[in-house]
Amino acid sequence: MDASDAKAVRHGQTEPGPSAPAVGVEEPTVGVEEEFFIVGAGSRTVEPAAERLVAHAATTLGDDVSREFTDFQIETRTPPCASVPQLYQELLRLRAGIARAAAAEGLKVCPSGTPVLRPPGPAPIGAHPRYRAGADLFRSMMDDYVINALHVHVHLPDRDLAVYVSNYLRPWLPLLVEMSANSPFCDGRDTGYASWRSVIRLRFPALGPPPYARSFEDYRRQAAAMAEAGGMSFADLPFWDIRPHPLLPTVEVRCMDVPADPADSAALAAITRALVVTAAHTAGRGGAAPNPSAELLRCAYWNATRDGWSGHGPDALTGQVLPAPARGARLLEHIRPALEERGDTETVTAFLRRLASRGSGAHRQRAASRLPGGLSAVVDELTGPPPRSAPGADADRAATPRFT
């Protein structure tokens, strides 16, 4: 147990974690899923064109592109990548591929957590049985469940270790929400929040931060109890914001809005992998995972969704309430060894500099809304060519990808 673990225990924030070897974390691969809205090139409003856009994009991208929960959306998936530069190149490839396919169909793809402009009425839900089961269970709560996320997968085949890592990451989730917040507008209005996507998720009984679990079996029992009580559709496929993936040997972090800038997606993936590696190494030393109360964690989550990078919240290890930039600096120091081992330190420090200079996606969307055209200008900003700075580039550096 290191000094931060001991301090947290004194404050009653942690419980002993499993004494497990750091299996599969020396060189863990990382993969990313990104979700996008499909908008009309002229209307700037989301359009139910998933079927034809996926069919077109799949001619070049194959299984790396697919449909999502509603017909307004499309999803891309990178392969597992050994390095963040490789991941960044995959993100550029996939975004370029769907943009070309969209242009051929008179459409554009929009990286925003919620639809800036959407026609009235319930969203058209895809035909997948899992989607239909969710609609049957939650009824009208699904009418505006039209949200886009960034999902990060880190290779971790040991299920008990993955649960420990999940415990460890729980208090960091609000900071990840703040860093990625990119959904201030929804259906033509300013919500007053930085991440309205997260607000939509938090109203469901089994979305948001996962429960603290003492083992993978404990995790499965809690999921089964939630399903039996009617809080989720499938016990073997929970949608908590961290989960050992039911089909893949990964731990998956699902709390983040899709960023407008692919360099930000790459940096958030680097942060997530470093948190997973740090947690797994702590478990290998017999360290303890922070265990804030579910109520306080949801409160921190809500503050993060409202204020984003300009807000205050509890530090993940000490509980001290600090501004988001101060917690970001503490995060950097906490995961620095894991970042340095993989050459990702500059990627993350450059991301924090970008946040300091231009804010999160929510700040940039609101800035665009003050341009002529209002919300149409926001969509134009989001659907235009992505920033061409590499993950490790300064915010004001020449716009040229480094990783070629």
The arithmetic mean of pLDDT across residues 253-259, rounded, is: 97
**pLDDT > 50? residue 402:** no
Q: How confident is the model at residue 400, as a pLDDT?
A: 27
> What are 124-162's pLDDT values in tens digits?
777 777 777 777 777 877 888 999 999 999 999 999 999
Residue 244 pLDDT grade (very low, low, confident, very high; cuts 50, 70, 90) = very high
Distances (CA, A) of 185 to 43, 108, 112, 305, 355: 17, 18, 9, 13, 19
What domains sit in the chain, N to C, each tagged with a CATH number? Answer: 3-383 (3.30.590.20)
The arithmetic mean of pLDDT across residues 172-185, rounded, is: 98
Residue 231 pLDDT grade (very low, low, confident, very high; cuts 50, 70, 90) = confident
Q: How confident is the model at residue 393, as a pLDDT?
A: 57
Which is more confident, 308 or 135? 308
* Region of residue 79 (phi > 0: left; psi between -120 and 50: alpha; otherwise: beta): beta
The DSSP line for 224-255 is: HHHHHTTS-S-TTS-EESEEE-SSSSEEEEEE
Task: Label the pairing between strands 239-240 and 207-208.
Answer: parallel
